[in-house]
């Protein structure tokens, strides 16, 4: 008891060896007893407080746990909602086995499987065979970074393919490592990319390769030919008279014509050859793997023949031809630009031969191109230096044997090249803007000469003079002709102005108005080079033509082409019904003469009767007349 009391006193910080201050031990012990009771009460309150605090803490813990569980449940619900209703395919894939653990319905629908079927498959089952082997770096990069976005191909159940963009992340789920992959269908994007690629490399009108792709193909073909010791050919094609059709009937019909011609070309090349449209009406063809130029010839022959077939749109029938040039690697050039340029030069050479033809490049053609440029430089001063003169070719009626007309033909006495026919310089004059001064010189010279013949007592005959397309488009043409007739005193009824078929039909409405105005002057009008352009016979009734001159290119075809014979017979019949006088140009032999006569055409012009003559020679022919040569 005393020890207990001793400890209690020490706890109360009292000295047990000292008596109470007032010596009242009873009161002192009572105080101690009260202090113990208070301590017991404080301990009880503390213990109760601690118990209550622990309970509240547990409740708070339980409440927080329930909140977290609810949040997880809500989050999982949201995740499941997103998983099920995502617009993209979602795959959960075991990293080790590559087994598909779960997919959303979108993935199943797009691949054509059920979800259960996919969950019994690996991800490799929907990839093309060996794709994983071809792209091992994809798996490596995912494991290195934990995430990767890449493109792949998915194979549907029916075997069709679907391009996808995959975003894949490695994570853990239920104690295992998985790929969480989102696959987006990029079919439309790929189609858009392909369309952009097509627009960049292919002609939007015809669908064939464009210039950029063609040059690239030629460049690659040259490299391959060097490695293999092979040859290749570049063909350059230009449609003869396309601009005239475009001008006459509008771009819509012109575009249709280009599309038709592209298809004709494609149908006549070899499988694997590249056909390109270089611009306008120019096409090019690359032929690889040839061993001689002889392999090219049958192809270009078929193309030229195919393009020359009649072209019909609505009720309009057009006859268009093409000129072609060929260059061969390595003989004619060892780079794309040189090969194309030399094929172009060969094409122009074929045009000079009369169009609807083809030529292989020769070294002399480069010289000829330079000569054409030089020709233009000389042409600028030719009129001023009086280097031009006129010859005249007679027109004859085979039934009477008499000359009824003459055609004036320009000649250029070139200081270095000698006498050049109009075909050699008219195109250059048009390009240089010199054709109107040249036309005025020709009109003045021929009408003055014909007036002199009349003054000399020569029997009156018609004088035919050619006008260019630039003349027809000249707003002052009627005034020019009216002034010419007044100045030279030549009778209007003896003047016949010739316009080519292509020239007249460039702008039908404008041509009709101009021709009516010219006709009001009392002169005659003739349509020249008819039959190889693009007009229809029905168009003849619209214009006030007095004479139709059948193109000289028909004559050589008479003995070999049934189609040309049929066309010529049709022209003769229609012209007769329309009361239009016919003149056959380019008649060079008896067979051609007899064919035209049998068809009902009795007016002729050509070497079978007479070459172009100077004025004195023409006078003699007019006065004497003569039967056709035997």
Q: Is it true that domain 202-361 has CATH number 3.40.50.720? A: no
Q: Given this structure, which CATH class describes domain 86-190?
A: alpha beta
Residue 558: its pLDDT value, please? 64
The answer to whether the CB of 35 falls within 8 A of the CB of 14 is no
> What would the two tokens of residue 151 be?
């493109």
How far apart CA 80 and CA 73 sit, in angstroms, is: 10
Task: Report, in angstroms and rounded to the nearest whole number, the Rg of the chain calculated over CA atoms.
Answer: 50
Number of alpha carbons in the 13 Å side-chain half-sphere of residue 421: 7
Residues 435-448 have pLDDT tens digits of: 899 999 999 999 99
3-state secondary structure of 315: coil
Give the number of other Cβ atoms within 10 Å of residue 522's Cβ: 12
Comma-separated ranges of CATH 3.30.70.270 domains in the chain = 202-361
Q: What backbone torsions phi and psi does residue 310 show, to the nearest 5 degrees?
A: -55, 145
One DSSP character per residue, 39-77 reads: HHHHHHHHHHHHHHHHHHHHHHHHHHHHHHHHHHHHHHH
Residue 407's DSSP bridge partners are 393, 464
Q: Helix, strand or coil for residue 574?
A: helix
Tokens of residue 220, six digits: 């690659």
CATH number of the structural domain 378-547+611-624: 3.20.20.450
- The tokens for 102 are 């779960």
pTM value is: 0.51
Is residue 438 within 8 A of residue 411, CB to CB? The reply is: no
Rounded to a whole number of angstroms, the distance between the first and last alpha carbons of the chain is 174
- Nearest Cα residue to 115 out of 104, 128, 99, 125: 104
CA distances for 492 relative to 171, 348, 450, 461, angstroms? 100, 39, 12, 12
The tokens describing 159, both together, are: 């075997």
Question: Which residue positions in the chain have pLDDT lower than 50?
Answer: 1-6, 12, 14, 25, 79, 534, 628-630
Q: Is 394 helix (H, G, I), strand (E, B) or coil?
A: strand
Q: 3-class SS at 495?
A: strand
Question: What pLDDT is stored for residue 572 in this prediction?
Answer: 82
245/322 Cα distance (integer angstroms)? 14
Furthest-apart CA atoms within the chain: distance in Å: 187
Residues of the chain with CATH 3.30.450.20: 86-190
| Spatial distance between the Cα atoms of 346 and 352, rounded to a whole number of angstroms | 10
| C-alpha torsion 222→225→226→229, nearest 10 | -160
CA-CA distance, 550 to 367, in Å (whole number)? Answer: 35
Residues 6+ apart with CB under 8 A from 395: 403, 404, 405, 406, 407, 462, 464, 583, 603, 604, 605
Check if the beta carbon of residue 198 is closer than 8 Å to that of residue 212: no
Q: What is the pLDDT of residues 571-610, one digit of tens each?
A: 888 888 888 899 988 888 888 888 888 888 899 998 888 8
> At 147, is the secondary structure helix, strand, or coil?
strand
> Which tokens belong to 584?
């056959």
Q: Give 87's DSSP letter.
A: S
Query: Do 254 and 351 touch, CB atoms closer than 8 A?
Result: no
577 burial via Cβ count (<10 Å: 0-12, 13-18, 19+) = exposed
Spatial CB neighbours of 18, under 8 Å, sequence gap ≥ 6: none
Residue 629 DSSP one-character state: P
Q: What's the pLDDT at 343?
A: 94
Q: Within a 10 A sphere around the Cβ of 293, how many other Cβ atoms?
A: 16
Strands (E) located in 174-320 = 176-185, 231-240, 274-279, 282-290, 311-313, 316-318
Residue 554 per-residue DSSP state:
G
- Kindly report, as residue ranges, where domains of CATH 3.20.20.450 are found in the chain: 378-547+611-624
DSSP β-bridge partners for residue 394: 406
Return the beta strands (E) in 383-472 as ranges: 388-397, 403-414, 418-421, 462-466
pLDDT for res 401: 85
What secondary structure letter does DSSP report for 601? Answer: -
């Amino acid at each position: 008891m005393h020890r207990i009391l001793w400890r209690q006193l020490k706890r109360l910080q009292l000295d047990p060896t000292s008596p109470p201050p007032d010596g009242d031990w009873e009161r002192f012990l009572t105080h101690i007893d009260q202090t113990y009771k208070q301590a017991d009460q404080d301990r009880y309150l503390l213990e109760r407080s601690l118990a209550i605090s622990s309970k509240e803490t547990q409740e708070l813990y339980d409440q927080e746990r329930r909140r977290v569980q609810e949040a997880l449940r809500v989050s999982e619900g949201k995740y499941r909602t997103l998983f099920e209703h995502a617009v993209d395919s979602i795959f959960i894939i075991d990293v080790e086995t590559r087994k598909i653990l779960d997919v959303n319905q979108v993935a199943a629908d797009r691949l054509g499987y059920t979800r259960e079927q996919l969950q019994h498959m690996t991800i490799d089952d929907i990839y093309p065979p060996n794709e994983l082997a071809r792209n091992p770096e994809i798996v490596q990069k995912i494991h290195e970074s934990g995430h990767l976005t890449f493109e792949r191909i998915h194979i549907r159940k029916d075997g069709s393919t679907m391009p996808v963009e995959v975003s894949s992340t490695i994570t853990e789920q239920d104690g295992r490592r998985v790929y969480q992959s989102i696959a987006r269908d990029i079919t439309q994007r790929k189609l858009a990319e392909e369309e952009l690629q097509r627009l960049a490399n292919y002609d939007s009108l015809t669908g064939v390769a464009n210039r950029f792709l063609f040059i690239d193909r030629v460049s690659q073909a040259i490299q391959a030919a060097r490695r293999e010791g092979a040859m290749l050919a570049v063909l350059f094609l230009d449609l003869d008279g396309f601009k005239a059709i475009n001008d006459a009937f509008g771009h819509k019909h012109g575009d249709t014509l280009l599309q038709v011609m592209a298809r004709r070309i494609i149908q006549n090349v070899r499988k694997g050859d590249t056909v390109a449209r270089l611009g306008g009406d120019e096409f090019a063809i690359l032929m690889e793997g040839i061993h001689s130029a002889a392999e090219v010839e049958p192809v270009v022959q078929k193309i030229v023949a195919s393009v020359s077939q009649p072209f019909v749109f609505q009720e309009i029938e057009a006859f268009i031809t093409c000129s072609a040039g060929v260059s061969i690697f390595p003989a004619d050039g060892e780079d794309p630009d040189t090969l194309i340029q030399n094929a172009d030069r060969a094409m122009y050479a074929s045009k000079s031969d009369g169009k609807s033809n083809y030529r292989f490049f020769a070294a002399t053609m480069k010289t000829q191109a330079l000569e054409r440029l030089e020709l233009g430089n000389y042409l600028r001063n030719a009129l001023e230096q009086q280097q031009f003169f006129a010859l005249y070719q007679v027109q004859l009626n085979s039934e009477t044997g008499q000359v009824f007309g003459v055609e004036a033909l320009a000649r250029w006495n070139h200081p270095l090249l000698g006498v050049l026919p109009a075909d050699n310089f008219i195109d250059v004059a048009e390009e240089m803007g010199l054709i109107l001064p040249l036309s005025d010189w020709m009109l003045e010279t021929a009408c003055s000469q014909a007036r002199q013949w009349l003054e000399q007592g020569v029997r009156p005959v018609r004088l035919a003079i050619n006008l260019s397309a630039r003349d027809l488009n000249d707003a002052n043409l009627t005034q020019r002709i009216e002034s010419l007739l007044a100045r030279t005193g030549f009778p209007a009824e003896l003047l016949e102005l010739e316009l080519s078929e292509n020239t007249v039909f460039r702008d039908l409405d404008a041509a009709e108005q101009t021709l009516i105005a010219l006709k009001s002057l009392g002169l005659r009008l003739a349509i020249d080079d008819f039959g190889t352009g693009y007009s229809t016979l029905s168009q003849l009734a619209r214009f006030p033509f007095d004479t139709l001159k059948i193109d000289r290119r028909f004559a050589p075809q008479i003995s070999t082409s049934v189609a040309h014979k049929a066309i010529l017979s049709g022209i003769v019949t229609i012209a007769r019904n329309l009361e239009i006088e016919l003149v056959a140009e380019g008649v060079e032999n008896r067979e051609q003469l007899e064919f035209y006569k049998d068809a009902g055409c009795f007016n002729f012009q050509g070497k079978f009767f007479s070459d172009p003559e100077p004025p004195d020679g023409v006078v003699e022919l007019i006065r004497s007349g003569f039967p056709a040569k035997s």
